[in-house]
Amino acid sequence: MKLIKAVSFIIQFGLIGLGMAALYLIWQSDHDGSELINFFSPSQLMQHSNDSAAGNTSPVTSYADAVASSFNSVVTIYTTKQVKHKTHPLLNDPIFNQLFGEQLERRQRDNTEINLGSGVIISSDGYIITNQHVVTGADEILVSLSDGRGSQAVLVGEDRETDIAILHIPINGLDEIEVADTQPIRVGDVVLAIGNPLNVGQTVTMGIISATGRNRIGLNTFENFIQTDAAINPGNSGGALVNARGQLIGINTAIFSQEVGAQGIGFAIPISIALDIKQQIIDNGKVSRGWIGVEGTQITAKAAMETGNPNIRGALIVGVFIDSPADMAGIRSGDIMVAVNGEPVDNIRDLLEVITLYQPGEIIEITVFRGPQKMTFSMRATERPQ
């Protein structure tokens, strides 16, 4: 009996507590009674939880719209090149040539080499961006559009140091791809690679951005790659890397492969770099970069100690070209370059990339350490040799 009374007391106390809590919530949030009932409703709680988890957005089940907006802007590029064979040395012998020359010459006839790549229509009046290695040395360049039309292309210009080439075809009203805005891309963003891998036909593969700013890969002189795990194969080179809205963010360039299993490592040139190269080629027929004429390497422990700062960052100069801007300004081997126009440089690659941003004729001030002495040299950049 005492146990029943105790349980009854606890239940009554609990109900009173819940009632007081409900009245407090009504007073705090100005909810009416019906809202309070809905607030405690299990279905409402479940809906609230689902909305919060999904961020009030529906899950993405297709990228068809992104593909549709960019698919027709990607083209296939076929190049042909006449490969000449070396003359057999025995053909220089008159007797051997008389006996067997005709047979050897038949075997050594020139062959036509056909290569495959992709490209991206960057303007409706026929300009196309692709990789320089896709068209290098080509005797003829043919472009195949997604609608089946084809045209010969003219090589407007190329830049070996970034692996970018610009083509033009005499067709107007083309589907120009939309370029992504300046909002920075992020590791983890979904991307789509569009091209013609292995000549199987226009193909789309999906992945994410695995890394940005990749360099020291050894592919180009100037490297600032987007790394992706979207499948890229031979034939994809020069094709489009687009975001989940179908906007162009990069030009697919290369894969990293050891030919054993799947690597999932592909590289694309950021579209900002490709567009800068494209504009220089169209405006000037070439790409101009600043040059001061030095060769450098990583700072040695001995050179760092001589400055009095063992943690110094910069580029150790190991060579200066005769009559170059650096030579005429007074730079010497053994100097450590630490800043360009007041902007610090961490290593020789930083130094190279910063200087190439200046146009030939611009004045550059270089800060160096010569032993413990800090010095500044002024020089006029010249055009970087190809």
Q: Which amino acids are annotated catalytic?
A: 133, 163, 237
Residue 159 CB neighbour total at 10 angstroms: 24
Question: Is the CB of residue 126 less than 8 Å from the CB of residue 282?
Answer: no
Find, among 116, 39, 45, the residue nearest to 81 by Cα: 116
Residue 199 to residue 259: CA distance in whole angstroms: 20
Residue 245 to residue 134: CA distance in whole angstroms: 27
180 forms bridges with which residues in the sheet?
none
How many helices (H) does the chain have, and how many strands (E)? 10, 21
Residue 164 CB neighbour total at 10 angstroms: 27
Contacts of 259 (CB under 8 A, 6+ apart): none
Q: If you search the block for the tokens 């130094």, which residue do you land on?
A: 351
Question: Is the CB of residue 360 less than 8 Å from the CB of residue 290?
Answer: yes
Find, among 345, 334, 349, the residue nearest to 367 by Cα: 345
Find, among 332, 74, 315, the residue nearest to 205 by Cα: 74
The strand pair at 373-380 and 363-370 is best described as antiparallel
Residue 194 to residue 135: CA distance in whole angstroms: 19
Straight-line distance from the first to the last Cα atom of the chain, in angstroms, rounded to the nearest whole number? 102
Residue 312 CB neighbour total at 10 angstroms: 16
Contacts of 360 (CB under 8 A, 6+ apart): 288, 289, 290, 291, 381, 382, 383
Residue 75 CB neighbour total at 10 angstroms: 30
Q: ∠ CA 279-325-285 to the nearest 5 degrees?
A: 20
